[in-house]
């Protein structure tokens, strides 16, 4: 009973975070539609170029902090050490303020040089407008990591939604105002909305912290006696020891993206495309392929975010059976969520882009050939979280580096080919994440000694996905032939596919009653499936 409650807690947290992720991505899609209409694929290319510089410095300043804080906090709380858990928060706050401020100043000073370095001089204003955001997000990461370490994902979820709502509003407003002057300034208006959204997200987190402050203080005072008070130096050392490998691993992919961007522009030029054509193709890659494929990956990221502190607390208490159960469920859920997303986007790529971007529907080939990367990126997110939770932070770094080494030469040879051009970038990305996934899963099995049931985890979901993909395409063709309306046909095909896939998972016993009990809102679903004799355990 206790075990079941723990699993339920884990996946309820993941459900809260993934639901917020889905909602924020949906809001992101909604605002990218008018934004793309305003600035076009060309503006999206400029927007994304500046955004990658921002992401790189954000990673260096604060990407490892939420994971490090949540892991370290959960370990202390597992031992009822509330005092040192909160001290981690205080020390981390100081670190984030320093690193965030330094990164902000560097971007302000060198924005022009960065725009020239990445072969996108028109992205200067976008880079400049994103500089303050780094400082704000660095502080936000501390609050989110602390709450997640307490097994409370609601503050992160609420702040993400608020942040995205204000981001959407101001991105459109500022882009609308500034596009009248130039495409570059219009793109900068879009990026400036990110910072305004971050301010409101931070305000929400501070408000939640103030509300929880009384309870936090009471918990600290309850078990303050007879505790070993950790020094700031010890906590700082552990923060950097935990965060730096994560930062390096994430930075490798970010550097790869920056190199990718530089190579894309360079190789497209070699393939015979001019600057404007290259911006358009790059805009299709980032503004459509990246933004759409990160939608399902955000669910896997939510699972990874929750699994790190959860496994860390089990690991510090040496609960091996608990660890094995959490790992199996996490990998299983990442696979059954990523498979249909990848196949669905592949078979309906052209139709989905026409529905989402009716004014700029080009680029479906990129989505079609690159959708497979969703599977490997989702799984590797969860595997990295597992490895970080069991104190093997270096493995994701090594696997990321090997994947990056493979990606760079593939980019050069594939993108430079005029017949392949921009599609080469997504092919190399898929292969990069495939290698990373294989390395990570090898070490997860080696370190934890778990046995993966390939039939239930891989083969059955694959069969369900293939059936779903075939019928989704067939359903679209029939509906579109009858209605001659792409929007209605795509929408109904997606709904049909989701229901069909879920039923197939139940029929083939991929999802069982014990899985449904791991999440909230399960009683009515279980009752209905039992009544029609579909549910097995």
pLDDT at 35 over 50: yes
pLDDT at 475 over 50: yes
Q: Identify which of 263, 3, 303, 222 has the alpha carbon closest to the alpha carbon of residue 118.
A: 263
Provide the percentage of residues in the chain whose pLDDT is more than 90.
22
Number of H helices, E strands in the chain: 20, 0
Backbone angles phi, psi at 120, to 5 degrees: -145, 70
Provide the percentage of residues in the chain whose pLDDT is more than 70.
87
pLDDT at 476 over 90: yes
| Cα–Cα dist 330/286, whole Å | 28
> What is the tens place of the pLDDT at every residue in 197-209?
999 999 999 999 9
The predicted pLDDT at position 133 comes to: 92
- How crowded is residue 26: how many other Cβ atoms within 10 Å of its Cβ? 12
Overall average pLDDT of the 84-90 stretch: 89
The predicted pLDDT at position 162 comes to: 94
DSSP 3-state percent helix, strand, coil across the chain (nearest 5): 85, 0, 15
> What is the tens place of the pLDDT at every residue in 51-63?
778 887 887 777 7
pLDDT at 257 over 70: no
pLDDT at 6 over 50: no
The predicted pLDDT at position 3 comes to: 40
Q: Which two tokens stand for residue 203?
A: 């305000």
Q: Please provide the average confidence, as pLDDT, over all residues in the chain.
A: 82
The predicted pLDDT at position 12 comes to: 67
pLDDT at 260 over 60: yes
Overall average pLDDT of the 137-147 stretch: 92
| Cα–Cα dist 267/277, whole Å | 12
Q: Identify which of 460, 326, 308, 450 has the alpha carbon closest to the alpha carbon of residue 381.
A: 308
pLDDT at 262 over 90: no
Band (pLDDT 50/70/90 cuts) for residue 268 is confident
The predicted pLDDT at position 409 comes to: 87
The predicted pLDDT at position 326 comes to: 79
Q: pTM for the whole thing?
A: 0.70
> What is the tens place of the pLDDT at every residue in 504-532?
988 888 877 666 555 544 454 444 445 44
Q: Identify which of 173, 161, 145 has the alpha carbon closest to the alpha carbon of residue 197.
A: 161
Overall average pLDDT of the 320-344 stretch: 84
The predicted pLDDT at position 81 comes to: 83
Is residue 444 within 8 A of residue 381, CB to CB? The reply is no
**Alpha-carbon distance values, 307 to 248, 294, 314, 319 (Å):** 20, 19, 10, 14
pLDDT at 434 over 90: yes
Most confident of 145-154, 267-276, 384-393, 464-473: 464-473
The predicted pLDDT at position 356 comes to: 80
| Cα–Cα dist 234/247, whole Å | 20
Q: Which two tokens stand for residue 482?
A: 């009858």
The predicted pLDDT at position 106 comes to: 92
pLDDT at 250 over 50: yes
Is residue 528 packed enough to be buried (19+ CB in 10 Å), middle (13-18) or exposed (0-12)? Answer: exposed
């Amino acid at each position: 009973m206790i075990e079941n409650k723990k699993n339920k807690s884990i996946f309820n947290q993941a459900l809260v975070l993934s639901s917020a992720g889905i909602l924020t991505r949906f809001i992101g899609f909604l605002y990218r539609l008018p934004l793309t209409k305003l600035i076009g694929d060309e503006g999206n290319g400029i927007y994304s170029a500046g955004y990658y510089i921002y992401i790189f410095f954000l990673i260096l300043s604060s990407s490892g902090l939420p994971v490090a804080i949540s892991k370290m906090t959960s370990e202390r709380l597992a031992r009822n050490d509330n005092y040192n858990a909160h001290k981690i928060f205080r020390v981390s706050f100081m670190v984030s303020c320093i690193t965030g401020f330094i990164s902000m100043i560097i971007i302000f000073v060198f924005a022009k040089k960065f725009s020239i370095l990445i072969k996108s001089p028109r992205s200067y204003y976008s880079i400049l407008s994103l500089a303050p955001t780094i400082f704000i997000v660095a502080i936000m990461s501390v609050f989110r990591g602390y709450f997640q370490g307490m097994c409370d994902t609601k503050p992160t979820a609420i702040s993400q939604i608020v942040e995205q709502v204000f981001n959407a509003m101001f991105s459109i407003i500022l882009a609308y105002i500034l596009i009248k002057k130039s495409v570059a300034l219009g793109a900068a208006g879009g990026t400036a909305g990110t910072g305004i959204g971050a301010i409101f997200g931070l305000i929400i987190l501070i408000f939640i912290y103030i509300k929880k402050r009384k309870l936090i203080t009471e918990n600290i005072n309850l078990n303050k006696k007879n505790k070993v008070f950790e020094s700031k130096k010890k906590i700082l050392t552990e923060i950097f020891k935990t965060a730096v490998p994560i930062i390096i691993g994430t930075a490798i992919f970010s550097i790869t993206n920056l190199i990718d961007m530089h190579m894309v522009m360079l190789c497209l030029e070699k393939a015979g495309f001019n600057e404007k054509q290259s911006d358009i193709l790059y805009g299709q890659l980032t503004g459509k392929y990246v933004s759409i494929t990160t939608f399902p990956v955000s669910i896997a990221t939510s699972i990874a975010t929750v699994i790190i502190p959860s496994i860390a607390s089990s690991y510090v208490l040496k609960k091996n059976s608990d660890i094995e159960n959490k790992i199996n469920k996490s990998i299983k859920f990442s696979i059954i969520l990523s498979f249909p997303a990848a196949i669905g986007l592949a078979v309906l790529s052209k139709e989905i882009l026409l529905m989402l971007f009716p004014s700029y529907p080009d680029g479906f080939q990129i989505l079609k050939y690159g959708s497979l990367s969703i599977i490997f990126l989702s799984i590797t997110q969860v595997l990295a979280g597992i490895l970080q939770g069991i104190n093997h932070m270096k493995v994701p770094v090594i696997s990321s580096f090997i994947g990056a080494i493979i990606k760079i030469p593939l980019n050069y040879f594939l993108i430079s080919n005029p017949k392949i051009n921009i599609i080469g970038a997504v092919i190399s990305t898929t292969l990069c994440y495939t290698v990373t996934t294989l390395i990570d899963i090898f070490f997860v099995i080696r370190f934890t000694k778990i046995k993966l049931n390939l039939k239930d985890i891989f083969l059955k979901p694959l069969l369900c996905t293939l059936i779903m993909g075939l019928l989704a395409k067939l359903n679209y063709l029939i509906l579109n032939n009858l209605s001659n309306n792409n929007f209605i046909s795509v929408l109904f095909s997606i709904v049909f596919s989701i229901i069909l896939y879920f039923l197939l998972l139940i029929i083939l016993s991929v999802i069982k009653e014990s899985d449904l009990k791991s999440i909230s809102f399960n009683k009515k679903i279980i009752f209905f499936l039992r009544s029609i004799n579909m549910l097995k355990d």
